[in-house]
Structure 1
Amino acid sequence: MENFPCEVIRNFSIIAHIDHGKSTLADRSLTGTIAKKEKGRNMQVLDKLKVERERGITACGHVDFAWEVARSLAACQGALLLVDASQGVQAQSISVFHIAKEKGLTIIPVLNKIDLPAAQPEQVAAQMQAHLALIPPMSFPSLRRPALVSRRFWKQSSRAFLLPGDPAALLKTFLFDSSYDPYRGVISLMSVQGGVLRDKIASTHTHKRYEVTELGIMHPEEVPTESLRPGQVGFVACAMKESTEAHIGDTFHRMGHPVDPMPGFRPAKAMVYAGIYPVDNNDFLKLEESIRRLSLTDRSVEVMRETSSALGQGCRLGFLGTLHMDVFRQRLEDEYDASVIITAPTVPYQVVHRDGSTSFVSNPTDFPDTADYAAGGRVKEVLEPIVKASIIVPEEHFSAMMDLCYEHRGTNLDWQPMDVSGTYEDAGYEKSDLRKITFLLNSRPVDALALIVHESRVQEAGRHWVEKLFKIIPRQLFEVPIQAAVGKTIIARRTLSALRADVTAGLYGGHYERKLKHLNNQKDSKRKMKRVGKVDLPQEAFFELLSSK
């Protein structure tokens, strides 16, 4: 890489909706520049993970991953907006497009798959011009043939992108991703904004100092080099022992020569929490180690231990969103062969106490009961997190989208016609009338099933989950009441009838009082079992209950 001057280096991103061709374009672009893969079932250079190929989230445009998208775009000088001519501009394209514009990147629009029977290149080009103020200068048929990605295309693109920084300036590097190697410690991916990266560096956020032991570029695997120059993106090993030291978005400089940090740095913030438990309690330690290893490659996940009386030992994890949670679960299953149960996700609530102190609750089990709100109780009010959301919908779906917003207590609604998309940002907390629903089996609460819902949905949620429990719980030798309660008030109930043995089957003849005596003894036994009996939900029932909709 030392033979390539900074003037000919450009870093760019490919912005596209799922299945619009971003992975294929990237692979075709790299044809002839790197060695072709000869081993493995996945022949693509990108999409190394199974979950990436199945979900189309190579460069995640989903709103859950807006934080990761923003940090990746910060390492680029430009972007290609790739649009499928048969589908038009869609959700992820629009949301990431606006992030790229805010970063000041040069954006080149490109039409893909113009040779498909359903393609409407003129209409889609007009759509891009009307809604995004972009005129597509280039178009491709199917990108499956490498020759179609011409040198002329890349020359035209690179001229439009900004030049990288000055190698004579003070060193300034941007850390935008990291992984963990058991032998080398934390491996950081850095983008050099100015200066030359060689040996000693320091963090502007933690002020810790490091000695660079190894660095290089990804081609697509690690290739060592002597230095990294402006515009180059590479890996850096610097004896960083803990992954918590690698703060995504942090700025590094040469030791003894501080620089101003790059703007926009903020730590990842978990938006939803859920408990993860092994299907077999004996596998907890194995699951905990798997979660620890996987979280080393995903710094946005928060991990803490927790114990449930129903599910045993597990971990409570914080995620960027529900899709992030589902992807993490799938990676646990694919990469570590883990069988897990995930409890219903919840958001963190802020509890304001009467003494003026505040606390945050992310586990429904710890949520205040109704009695805590009463006069003399310890809780003054509960605040729920809110977001400022921008949702863009076509005019024909306007009514359904408004109904969805009102269903989730949306306020200050405004609208404009366009294709579906959505982004949101944290807007703090506001007071809300929330209730904790506790589910009881034979009058005993099951902590793993507790829910936090708004007061307006208490009755609906209680009946819904009681019906699910009624269908899933196996029958016992005694009658089992299934109840949903808010505080001491029962809001829904179903009764699971008892399994009944025919205790008179072996009796032949005799007075009817003889049979009646056996039946009365059976009733007395069942009353005693109901009084002292305990209903244990099998793990399979929990899995079916929490994984069903």
Structure 2
Amino acid sequence: MPTSLTRNFSIIAHIDHGKTTLSDRLLEATQTISQREKQDQLLDAMDLEREKGITIKAHPVAMEYKAKDGKTYKLNLLDTPGHVDFSYEVARSLAACEGAILMIDAAQGVEAQTVANLHLALEQNLTIIPVLNKIDLPAADVEKCRKQLEDILAIPGEDAIPASAKQGIGIEEILEAVVQRVPAPVENPDKLLRASVFDSIYDTYRGVVSYVRVFSGSVKKGQRVKLMATNKTYEVKEVGVFTPKMTARDKLVAGDVGYVIANMKSADEAKIGDTLTDNTHPCPEPLPGYKEIQPMVFSGIYPIDTSDYEALKTAMGKLQINDAAFTYMSESSTALGFGFRCGFLGLLHMEIIQERLRREFNMDVISTYPSVIYQVTKTNGEELIVDNPSFFPDQQTIQEVREPLVKVFVMIPGEYIGDIMSLVMEKRGEVEHTETIDDTRVMLTCLLPLAEILVDFNDRLKSCTRGYGSMDYEHAGYRAANMVKMEMMIAGEPIEAFATIVHREKAEGYGRALAARLKDVIPNQLFVVAIQACIGGKIIARESISAMRKDVTAKCYGGDISRKRKLLEKQKEGKKKMKAIGKVNIPQDAFIKVLKSGD
């Protein structure tokens, strides 16, 4: 099929606006899947995606569609995630397309991530096809959505196609719009092989499977190819397309989206964003790459059984092939043994990675409290990057600590503006400006410390706004803050696993809460155990675990009281000596309980 009849497009939207349902309908309308294979969320291959009702990975699929002009077109669709933590998946998919369907829920209107994903598409100069989905709902307001398209996104309202992915309304119009509006891929005149690797997975039997978009030339079985970043050469074992299952083809030509299996065996050979070219006649320069993804959140992941360390290392290597934004490096902790310091894009990303480790690789893991990267200037002028509380220098050697900031765009109904402003102030943030979107909704632009939005900001936003609020954020540099390292001392011994970097104003409250949790999980000893939260040498919170009392007078029956007194004095001396030299052995499950309840 000639390149002029190929169309590559993506579906972008806010989370839960119906992207995956639309892709199901498109597969049915083009008869890519038979009635027997039909199921909801067909492109969501992971159990985790089906359970949570979200898309985590971008899924390519090739379809054939006979248009009204009588020609048969090859349509390559990439379904993308909507959650803010997976925006790198969206960016990678958009780089492999010429057009994008922008979906908007007709009942909810334009949301925060609709705006963010549209900007990603416009950066790649893609043709936008707006679709107003869920018009069958009683609450749908098509005219209001058309007005929002014009006012907020500067897209002509009359271009929007009203549709209902669930009911199958407007599907034919969407397919016709893709054929008419999305431009055909343009091939480089030199016809040299240029294929961009936009994703990879690891197959136990076939090694690394690279998902590619061919920009020029062709790739076929038996061809010698090389990856330009690593300069390694491979022999192609199989090429094919997704229908949506992997289906082998003789070759992939310019404009195609498919997969290439070469003899790549190890996890670190596949670099997402790399350019695949012919070994004999390579292209002169690689395709413009994707920007390197910087992790925003760090957490330690440790195997509960220390003998699983090597298996966990292998599992993380395989996951990293499939997820370019996930980073890891070895570290060890006196409390938790050997493990890894891992970097994530956000808290949902962290939760998904942990769940995938448990499900796909049967790993039993525990994670430490999430932290962010701080920049520290010491009094001697030395600059440090700190992502782990154990590397935080002593307070007296610090001149300045800078914490990462994020610009948060919050879209909410107008009546909740007061609650959200107080939530932002509680999280040490500030509202930069407010913008009225329509009669009912406003958009707040806030500046907040990243550490403050990590754990519960999104949950609190949803509960404050009865589920109607939505947010999106972007990195906004660093600023100086009064950050301190808070340590937990148990019987005078600092426990590194519970050390955290907190703002001085919030340290006392956090220290009290953590000390109370530790008091509940550490077993009683034969002497009083002090649990203290301290900053430098100053104790800011304390709890005590009372001693177990052994009844030493039980064997005394009758006789003089002085015998009992003598035994009690002896016990008292023993407890005093034990308090001086005794060690508290904290069981492994106590760490696990505290860290889990802290998440």
Same fold (TM over 0.5): yes
Deviation track 1:86-108 (CA, whole Å, cap 9, x = no partner) reads 33332332321221122222222
Other-structure match for 1:128:
149
C-alpha separation in 1, matches of 2:563 and 2:107: 80
Contact 2:327/2:343, CA 8 A, preserved across alignment: yes
Give 1:80 shift.
1.6
Inter-CA distance 165–200: structure 2 relative to 1 (3 Å threshold)? farther
Give 1:21 shift.
1.8
Give 1:237 shift.
2.2
Question: In structure 2, which of residues 499, 504, 520 is the aligned counterpart of residue 455 of structure 1?
Answer: 504
> How is 1:376-415 mapped onto 2 (pairs within 5 angstroms)?
380-410=399-429, 413-415=432-434
Inter-CA distance 159–353: structure 2 relative to 1 (3 Å threshold)? same
Other-structure match for 1:502:
551
RMSD (CA atoms): 2.8
The amino acid across from 1:50 in the alignment is D
Query: Which 5+ residue runs of structure 2 have no aligned equivalent?
Result: 56-79, 437-441, 444-468
Contact 2:13/2:19, CA 8 A, preserved across alignment: yes
Question: In structure 2, which of residues 19, 31, 34 is the aligned counterpart of residue 33 of structure 1?
Answer: 31
Contact 1:77/1:162, CA 8 A, preserved across alignment: yes
Deviation track 1:367-411 (CA, whole Å, cap 9, x = no partner) reads 1122433xxxxxx54443334454444443434444444444446
The amino acid across from 1:293 in the alignment is K
Deviation track 1:429-474 (CA, whole Å, cap 9, x = no partner) reads 4444321111011111111111011233222222222222223323
Give 1:53 shift.
1.7
Other-structure match for 2:458:
none
Question: In structure 1, which of residues 132, 135, 138 is the aligned counterpart of residue 161 of structure 2?
Answer: 138
Identify the range of structure 1 (95-104 vs 527-536) with the bigger mean alpha-carbon deviation.
527-536
Question: In structure 1, which of residues 191, 202, 207 is the aligned counterpart of residue 213 of structure 2?
Answer: 191
TM-score of the pair, normalised by structure 1: 0.89
C-alpha separation in 2, matches of 1:401 and 1:260: 49
Give 1:43 shift.
5.7
The amino acid across from 2:111 in the alignment is Q
Does the residue aligned with 2:250 lie in a helix, a strand or coil?
coil
Deviation track 1:324-382 (CA, whole Å, cap 9, x = no partner) reads 11110111122223322110011123344566554432221121122433xxxxxx544
Inter-CA distance 26–341: structure 2 relative to 1 (3 Å threshold)? same
Other-structure match for 2:460:
none
Does the residue aligned with 2:218 lie in a helix, a strand or coil?
coil
Contact 1:85/1:114, CA 8 A, preserved across alignment: yes
C-alpha separation in 2, matches of 1:266 and 1:401: 33
Inter-CA distance 83–425: structure 2 relative to 1 (3 Å threshold)? closer
Question: In structure 1, which of residues 217, 222, 226 is the aligned counterpart of residue 241 of structure 2?
Answer: 217
Other-structure match for 2:338:
313
Question: In structure 2, which of residues 113, 123, 126 is the aligned counterpart of residue 92 of structure 1?
Answer: 113
Other-structure match for 2:435:
416
Contact 2:424/2:431, CA 8 A, preserved across alignment: no
Inter-CA distance 322–335: structure 2 relative to 1 (3 Å threshold)? same
Inter-CA distance 278–38: structure 2 relative to 1 (3 Å threshold)? farther
Question: In structure 2, which of residues 7, 10, 23 is the aligned counterpart of residue 10 of structure 1?
Answer: 7
The amino acid across from 2:564 in the alignment is K
Inter-CA distance 243–291: structure 2 relative to 1 (3 Å threshold)? closer
Matched, 1:232 2:281: no
Other-structure match for 2:44:
47
Inter-CA distance 18–167: structure 2 relative to 1 (3 Å threshold)? same
Question: In structure 2, which of residues 180, 203, 207 is the aligned counterpart of residue 181 of structure 1?
Answer: 203
Does the residue aligned with 2:497 lie in a helix, a strand or coil?
helix
The amino acid across from 1:510 in the alignment is G
Contact 1:94/1:421, CA 8 A, preserved across alignment: no
Question: In structure 2, which of residues 365, 368, 385 is the aligned counterpart of residue 340 of structure 1?
Answer: 365
C-alpha separation in 1, matches of 2:215 and 2:290: 15
The amino acid across from 2:329 in the alignment is M
Answer 1 or 2: which has greater strand percent: 2
Other-structure match for 2:93:
72
C-alpha separation in 2, matches of 1:295 and 1:253: 23
C-alpha separation in 2, matches of 1:124 and 1:477: 69
Does the residue aligned with 2:585 lie in a helix, a strand or coil?
coil
TM-score of the pair, normalised by structure 2: 0.82
Inter-CA distance 208–431: structure 2 relative to 1 (3 Å threshold)? farther
Inter-CA distance 468–132: structure 2 relative to 1 (3 Å threshold)? same
Give 1:478 shift.
1.8
Other-structure match for 1:113:
134
Other-structure match for 2:176:
155
Identify the range of structure 1 (12-21 vs 284-293) with the bigger mean alpha-carbon deviation.
284-293
> How is 1:364-379 mapped onto 2 (pairs within 5 angstroms)?
364-373=389-398
Does the residue aligned with 2:574 lie in a helix, a strand or coil?
helix
C-alpha separation in 2, matches of 1:37 and 1:319: 39
Contact 1:174/1:190, CA 8 A, preserved across alignment: yes
C-alpha separation in 2, matches of 1:242 and 1:353: 41
Give 1:277 shift.
1.7
C-alpha separation in 2, matches of 1:246 and 1:453: 38
Give 1:151 shift.
3.6
Give 1:204 shift.
4.3
Matched, 1:247 2:271: yes
C-alpha separation in 2, matches of 1:37 and 1:314: 47
Identify the range of structure 1 (47-56 vs 131-140) with the bigger mean alpha-carbon deviation.
131-140
Contact 1:341/1:542, CA 8 A, preserved across alignment: no
Question: In structure 1, which of residues 263, 274, 286 is the aligned counterpart of residue 299 of structure 2?
Answer: 274
Contact 2:271/2:321, CA 8 A, preserved across alignment: no
Query: Which 5+ residue runs of structure 1 have no aligned equivalent?
Result: 374-379
The amino acid across from 2:388 in the alignment is N
Question: In structure 1, which of residues 101, 104, 108 is the aligned counterpart of residue 125 of structure 2?
Answer: 104
C-alpha separation in 1, matches of 2:586 and 2:101: 52
Deviation track 1:215-268 (CA, whole Å, cap 9, x = no partner) reads 111111222222222321111123334433333223334444434544453222
The amino acid across from 2:369 in the alignment is A
Inter-CA distance 130–429: structure 2 relative to 1 (3 Å threshold)? closer
Contact 2:132/2:142, CA 8 A, preserved across alignment: yes
Other-structure match for 1:350:
375
Inter-CA distance 290–173: structure 2 relative to 1 (3 Å threshold)? closer
C-alpha separation in 1, matches of 2:482 and 2:324: 33
Give 1:72 shift.
0.9
C-alpha separation in 1, matches of 2:229 and 2:362: 37
Identify the range of structure 1 (15-24 vs 500-509) with the bigger mean alpha-carbon deviation.
500-509
Matched, 1:517 2:517: no
Other-structure match for 2:462:
none
Identify the range of structure 1 (104-113 vs 291-300) with the bigger mean alpha-carbon deviation.
291-300
Other-structure match for 1:377:
none
Matched, 1:57 2:54: yes
Does the residue aligned with 2:322 lie in a helix, a strand or coil?
coil
C-alpha separation in 1, matches of 2:37 and 2:374: 49
